[in-house]
């Protein structure tokens, strides 16, 4: 039987001619990929920041001198919004509040003094709760002022600034509703030399 001769080598196939890249499509695809990756990275982060800011806490700057010597203007604070969902404000808490019917004005930082059902009175700068003097170790100066007895309604608090001579507080605008409390000042983070809890 005769065998067909085997060729010494197979012919080398010609390499395929490269197709020139389509510049327009490549650029569009790159932009779409960039936008997709940006949105899938940044959008969840923005949503998380929004949730934290609305429900958990936020940063605030002290605007005035009404809380000196415990808080000074331009200090930065963390305001937490969780605890008052679990319990009522406590006497001595430092809170951030909105003034009702004062749209556009910045929130105020004050200290809770009177609680619902109590009667707050000031005589010669001394605060009285239900006729008994209130011990305020955080004060360095009292305003030599008087205030007639003020009942604190349900779901409200009576607030004062620590710097009584210059503070705009419940002596002038009355008790504050719980609904107008933004949160509790819990931590001072700026300046770094004064970092620590707010008391």
Parallel, antiparallel, or unpaired: how do β-strands 176-177 and 156-160 relate?
A: antiparallel
| CA dist., res. 94 & res. 192, Å (int) | 20
Q: Which domains does the chain have, with CATH numbers?
A: 56-197 (2.10.109.10)
Per-residue pLDDT reduced to its tens digit, 136-165: 999 887 777 899 999 999 999 999 999 999
User: pTM for the full model?
Assistant: 0.72
Question: Which pLDDT band holds residue 102 (cuts at 50, 70, 90)?
Answer: low
| CA dist., res. 155 & res. 149, Å (int) | 18
Between these two residues, 74 and 34, which has the higher pLDDT value? 74
| φ, ψ (nearest 5 deg) of residue 58 | -160, 165
Could you confirm whether 81 is annotated as catalytic? Answer: no
Asked if residue 128 lies in contact with residue 121, where contact means CB atoms within 8 angstroms, the answer is yes
Per-residue pLDDT reduced to its tens digit, 122-134: 999 999 999 999 9
Could you confirm whether 110 is annotated as catalytic? Answer: yes
Using only C-alpha atoms, the chain has a radius of gyration, in whole angstroms, of 33
Say which of 81, 110, 156, 167 is annotated catalytic: 110
Asked if residue 74 lies in contact with residue 52, where contact means CB atoms within 8 angstroms, the answer is no
Say which of 4, 9, 30, 66 is annotated catalytic: 66
């Amino acid at each position: 039987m005769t065998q067909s001769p085997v060729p010494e080598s197979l012919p080398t196939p010609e390499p395929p001619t490269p197709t020139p890249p389509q510049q327009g499509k490549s650029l569009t695809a790159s932009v779409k990929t960039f936008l997709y990756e940006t949105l899938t990275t940044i959008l969840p982060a923005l949503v998380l920041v929004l949730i934290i800011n609305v429900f958990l806490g936020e940063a605030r700057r002290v605007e005035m001198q009404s809380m000196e010597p415990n808080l000074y203007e331009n200090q930065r604070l963390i305001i937490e919004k969780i605890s008052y969902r679990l319990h009522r404000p406590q006497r001595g808490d430092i809170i951030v509040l909105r003034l009702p019917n004062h749209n556009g004005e910045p929130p105020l930082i004050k200290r809770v003094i009177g609680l619902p059902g109590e009667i707050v009175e000031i005589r010669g700068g001394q605060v009285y709760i239900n006729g008994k003097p209130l011990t305020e170790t955080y004060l360095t100066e009292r305003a030599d002022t008087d205030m007639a007895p003020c009942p604190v309604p349900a779901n409200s608090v009576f607030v004062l600034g620590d710097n009584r001579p210059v503070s705009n507080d419940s002596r002038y605008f009355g008790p504050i509703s719980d609904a107008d409390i933004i949160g509790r000042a819990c931590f001072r983070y700026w300046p770094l030399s004064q970092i620590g809890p707010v008391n």
